[in-house]
Amino acid sequence: MITITHSAGQYPIHFTSLTQALQSLPQDAVVLTDENVFTAWKGQLSQVPNVCRIEPGEGSKSFERYREVLSWMAKSGCSRRTTLVALGGGVIGDLGGFCAASYMRGIPFVQIPTTLLAQVDSSVGGKVGIDLPEGKNLVGAFYPPHAVHVPSEALSTLPDRQLRNGMAEVWKYGYILDAPLVDCLTRTDVRDDLQPIVQRCIQLKAEVVEADEFEKLGIRAKLNFGHTVGHAIEQVLRYEEFLHGEAIAIGMVVEARLGESMRITAPGTASVIEAQLKTAGLPTTWSGLQNPDPLIAAMRRDKKAHSGQLAFSLLTQIGECKLVENVAEGEVRSALLNS
Amino acid sequence: MITITHSAGQYPIHFTSLTQALQSLPQDAVVLTDENVFTAWKGQLSQVPNVCRIEPGEGSKSFERYREVLSWMAKSGCSRRTTLVALGGGVIGDLGGFCAASYMRGIPFVQIPTTLLAQVDSSVGGKVGIDLPEGKNLVGAFYPPHAVHVPSEALSTLPDRQLRNGMAEVWKYGYILDAPLVDCLTRTDVRDDLQPIVQRCIQLKAEVVEADEFEKLGIRAKLNFGHTVGHAIEQVLRYEEFLHGEAIAIGMVVEARLGESMRITAPGTASVIEAQLKTAGLPTTWSGLQNPDPLIAAMRRDKKAHSGQLAFSLLTQIGECKLVENVAEGEVRSALLNS
C-alpha cells in the first residue's frame, strides 16, 4: 500500500485484485464503467446493484456524458453519502471523478483503474475533468479519491496496443525522474512482471503531487513532459488516430529535440528516446508535425500557458527535467518540422 | 471588512461601491453578468474589456449556460491566472462560481453581489453550482471566492419585489440565530438603512460556515430553515411564479408549523412568523401545498436527505434552531395541508 497525503487528508493506494476491490466497497456504492470493461468483468460486476455503463473512448469525456451520468446518479437516488466508483481507464476515472467532485458538491469517490495508463497516471493525484471542444481537460477539479484499488489482473486482459499506450507514461516517469527505471526498461521485458513497475511509477507520481497538489509551484507541471505537444496532436486529430500514450510518445521526441535546440537538454537525448520508444512499439513521429500552425495554436491554449506564452516540461538529461516558460514560437516550430 | 477563514485560506468581504469594486480588479479579469445588471451599470462596465452577458433568471443556472460560459472563457483566452468576476444576483454568483471552480480545475474568483439576496446569502460561504432537472443545486462545488465586494448602491436600483425577496433570508437569519435581529426588523423600516442589516447577516453566516465549511457537521445545514419546503415548491413550480425568497417565506411558515406539531418549536411560533412575513410583503401560503405528493418527492431528493429520509432545520424558538433528520412523512404531509 502507498499512502498519498493531500491538503484535506490522505488516501490509500491498494495493490489488490478486482474481486477484493469490489468486495471492499460500501453496500450502496454505484459504479461507473464502460461497455468494454463491463463485458470483460461481467461475472464480478453481477454483484454490484447500480452500474452505469457508457461508451468507451476519449469521446466520453464530454459534457453530454457528464450530464448523463449526473442525471443517472440523481435518478438512482444517490445521496451525499453515496460512493461513486470509477472502474475503467483514464476516461472513466476522469469523468467519474468530476461527477463525484460536483454531484451535490462532492461525494466519496473510489478509483479502480483497469488500464496500465490509468494505473500509473490518471488514477493518482486527484486530477479529474472533461474535455471541451476548445481543449482537453479544460473543465474539472482537484478532487482526491477516498481510495484507489489497483487490480493487477486487469492488465492481463488488456490488448497489446493498450499496454504500449500505458508504457509511454512509464517511460516518461523514467525520463523525467528516474534514470535507473529507464535502464530497467531497456534491459528486461517488463511485461513479464508489471506490478513492480506500476508501484514504482505511482511512488514517483505520489512524491510529485504531494509536493505541488494544485499545480501551482511548477513541480507538478514537470509530469507534463511530452504532453504540451502530445495534447496538441490529440486535439488537432480530435482524439482519433493516436491513443494518449502514442501522442505523448511523439510529443516526448519533439520536446527532447526542442530541449536540445534550446541547449536545455543534453545533446543526443532525443535520438536515444526516439530509439527506445520505437523499440517499445510506440510511434515517434507523425506527418502532421509538418503543419505546425494548428498545433501551436492548440499549445497556446494549454493550461501551462499564460497569456498565450508557450510552456514546456523539458529534460535536462535522462532522469531530470524542469518547467520552462515563455518558449519562443520559432523554437517550437523548428522542433516540430525536424521531427 | 469581514474576513472569512476556510480550509485553504481566507477571503475578505469589502463593503464598498461598485466603482471601487471594479477598479480593484486585476486588469485581465473577465466579468460574468446578466442583461439586467449590465443595463443598470453600463457606464461603470464600459471600462471592463471582457464581459459575458447572459439572460437573467434561475433558468440560467443550467447545464447549457454553464457550458456556454466555459466555452466563452476558453475562446476569450482565459488562463489559470485569469480572475472571473460574478457581478449580479445569486444565479450569476452560483453559475459564475462553478465556472471559476471548474475552468482549468479552478481559477481566481471574485463575487460582486448586486441583490440583497446574494449579498446576505449566496455570495458568502463558497457554495457554487447549477441546477439539474432532477433538483436545484445538484451539481456544484465548495469553492471559496478570493474576495467579495458588497456594493451598497446596487440595492438602490433594485425593484421592491427583489428587496422583499432578499428580506426573506434576512428574517431567516433572525429566526434561526438572532432574536434581537427579529425585534429590530419588526420595529424599524430597515429599508432606510440596509447596510448594517447586510453586515449583520454576513457576520452570522460567516460564523456558521466557518464552523462547518463542507456542510458535514449539521451546523451549516441549519441555514436551511424554510429551504426543504421552499426548494420543493420552487422545483414543483419549475422556478416560476415565486422568487427564491418568496418560496422560502412559505417554507418557513410550513416548517415552523411542522416543528410545533413535532413539539420541537415553541407553540405559537408559526403564527408569529406568518404575521411578520405577511407584513413584510412576503407570501406565506400557496394553494399547491394541498397537493403534498410532488412536494414530498422533491424533498426526498434534497441534499440533506439520506436514503430518502426527510431532514429539516427546525426552530426550537425564535432565534434558535437545530437539524432534525428522519422526519416522518405523515408529519410533513399534515404541516403542508394545514398551511
Question: B170, exposed or middle or buried, with CB in 10 Å at 0-12, 13-18, 19+?
Answer: buried
| Distance (Å) from the alpha carbon of A9 to chain B's nearest alpha carbon | 11
Three-state SS string over A66-110 comes to: HHHHHHHHHHCCCCCCCCEEEEECHHHHHHHHHHHHHECCCCCEE
Can you tell me the mean pLDDT for B228-252?
Answer: 94
| Distance in Å, alpha carbon of B30 to nearest chain A alpha carbon | 14
Residue A303 has pLDDT above 80, yes or no: no
Number of other CB atoms surrounding residue A139 within 10 Å: 29
By Cβ distance, the residue of B74, B132, B138 closest to A138 is B74
CA distance B256 to B273: 8
pLDDT at B190: 74
Q: Which of A109, A128, A157 is the last residue of a domain?
A: A157
Compute the distance between CA of residue B125 and CA of residue A89 in angstroms, rounded to an integer.
Answer: 35
Residues B204 and B303 occupy one common structural domain? yes
pLDDT the model gives residue A305? 78
A-B CB pairs within 8 A amount to 101
Out of A182-191, B54-63, B234-243, pick the least confident: A182-191
| Higher-scoring residue by pLDDT: B253, B137 | B253
Q: Is B46 helix (H, G, I), strand (E, B) or coil?
A: coil
pLDDT tens for B272-291 read 999 999 999 999 999 999 99
Distance CA(B208)–CA(B286), nearest Å, equals: 30
- Please say if the pLDDT value at position B191 is more than 80: no
Look at residue A237 in the predicted model and tell me its pLDDT.
Answer: 93
A233: closest CA among A216, A246, A220, A224?
A: A246
Same domain, B83 and B153: yes
Distance from CA of A116 to the nearest CA of B (A): 24
Residue of chain A whose Cα is closest to the Cα of B128 = A105
Q: Which of A78, A99, A139 to mutate to test the interface with B (most CBs of B within 10 A)?
A: A139
Shortest distance, CA B105 to any CA of chain A (angstroms)? 4
B64 touches chain A (CB under 8 A): no
Q: Which of B103, B124, B157 is the last residue of a domain?
A: B157
Is residue A185 located within the same domain as residue A137?
no
Residue B214 at interface with chain A, using a CB cutoff of 8 Å? yes
Measure the CA–CA gap between B124 and B205, rounded to whole angstroms: 7
Q: Are residues B48 and B104 in the same domain?
A: yes
User: Which residue, among A145, A170, A173, A172, has the nearest Cα to A155 in the 3D structure?
Assistant: A170
Q: How large is the ipTM?
A: 0.89
In chain B, which residues have their Cβ closer than 8 Å to the Cβ of A129?
Answer: 102, 105
Residues B267 and B172 in one domain: yes
- Asked whether residue B211 falls in the same domain as residue B252, the answer is yes
Residue A172's pLDDT band (cuts 50, 70, 90): very high
Q: What nine digits make up the cell of A237?
A: 486529430
Q: What is the CATH number of the domain that holds A191?
A: 1.20.1090.10
pLDDT score of A307: 74
Tens digit of each residue's pLDDT (9 = 90 or more) over B144-190: 999 999 998 888 888 999 999 999 999 999 999 999 999 999 987 77
From chain B, pick out residues whose CB is under 8 angstroms from the CB of A67: 63
Are A148 and A136 in the same domain? Answer: yes
**Which of A157, A190, A211 corresponds to the end of one domain?**
A157
Q: Quote the pLDDT of residue B142.
A: 95
- C-alpha cell read off for B58: 434561475
Residues of B with active-site annotation: 105, 127, 169, 205, 215, 220, 224, 227, 231, 244
Nearest CA in chain A to B309: A79
Residue bearing the bigger pLDDT, B234 or A301: B234
Give the integer Cα–Cα distance in Å for B71 and A132: 7
Residue A91 C-beta-side C-alpha neighbours within 13 Å: 22
pLDDT score at B157: 82
- Mean pLDDT calculated for residue range A13-31: 94
- Report how far residue A141's alpha carbon sits from residue A155's, in angstroms, rounded to the nearest whole number: 28
Contacts of A103 in chain B (CB under 8 A): 138-139
Enumerate the residues of chain A whose CB falls inside 8 A of the CB of residue B95.
none
Nearest to B138 among A7, A74, A303 (CB): A74
For chain B, say whether A306 makes contact (Cβ under 8 Å). Answer: yes
Contacts of B137 in chain A (CB under 8 A): 105
What whole-number distance in Å separates Cα of residue B244 and Cα of residue A26? 36
Distance from B249 to chain A by nearest Cα, in Å?
A: 24
Q: What is the mean pLDDT of residues B242-254?
A: 97
Summarised one tens digit per residue, pLDDT across range B299-312 is 988 877 777 789 99
The domain that holds A147 is classified in CATH as 3.40.50.1970
d(CA A214, CA A143): 10
A70 & A17 share domain: yes
Q: Is A220 a catalytic residue?
A: yes
Partner B, chain A 224-283, Cβ-Cβ below 8 Å:
none
The verdict on B272 and B217 lying in the same domain is: yes
Residue A192 has pLDDT above 80, yes or no: no
Q: Is there a catalytic annotation at residue A146?
A: no
- Nearest C-alpha in A relative to B134: A74
CB of A303 less than 8 A from some CB of B:
yes
At residue A255, the pLDDT reads: 98
Active site residue: A42, A75, A105, A187, which one?
A105
User: What is the pLDDT, as a whole number, of residue B135?
Assistant: 80
* Total number of domains constituting chain A: 2
Instruction: Verify that B135 and B187 share a domain, yes or no.
Output: no
What are the tens digits of pLDDT across the range A230-253?
Answer: 999 998 998 889 999 999 999 999
Q: Is A224 in the active site?
A: yes
As a residue count, chain B comes to 339
Are residues B70 and B169 located together in one domain of the fold? Answer: no
More confident residue, A127 or B156: A127
Q: What are A188's strand-pairing partners?
A: none
The minimal CB distance from B71 to the residues A79, A102, A132 is found for: A132
A308 in contact with chain B, both atoms CB, cutoff 8 A? yes
Across the interface, of B101, B129, B307, the residue whose CB is closest to A141 is B101
Q: Hey, is the C-beta of B129 within 8 angstroms of any chain A C-beta?
A: yes
User: The domain containing residue B312 runs over which residues?
Assistant: 160-337
Question: Do the beta carbons of residue A89 and residue A115 sit within 8 Å?
Answer: yes
Q: What would the mean pLDDT of B39-66 be, rounded to a whole number?
A: 92
To the nearest whole angstrom, how far is the Cα of B235 from the nearest Cα of chain A?
14
Tell me, rounded to whole angstroms, the distance of Cα B201 from its chain centroid: 12
Do B170 and B145 lie in one domain? The reply is no
When comparing pLDDT for A257 and B159, which is higher?
A257
**Between B136 and B178, where is the model more confident?**
B178
Cβ distance A102 to B7 less than 8 Å, yes or no, reads: no
Q: Of A178-182, A318-322, B238-242, B269-273, where does mean pLDDT reach its minimum?
A: B238-242
Q: What is the mean pLDDT of chain A?
A: 94
Q: Please, are residues B232 and B335 in contact by the beta-carbon 8 Å criterion?
A: no
Residue B118: the pLDDT is: 96
Q: What does pTM read for this prediction?
A: 0.91
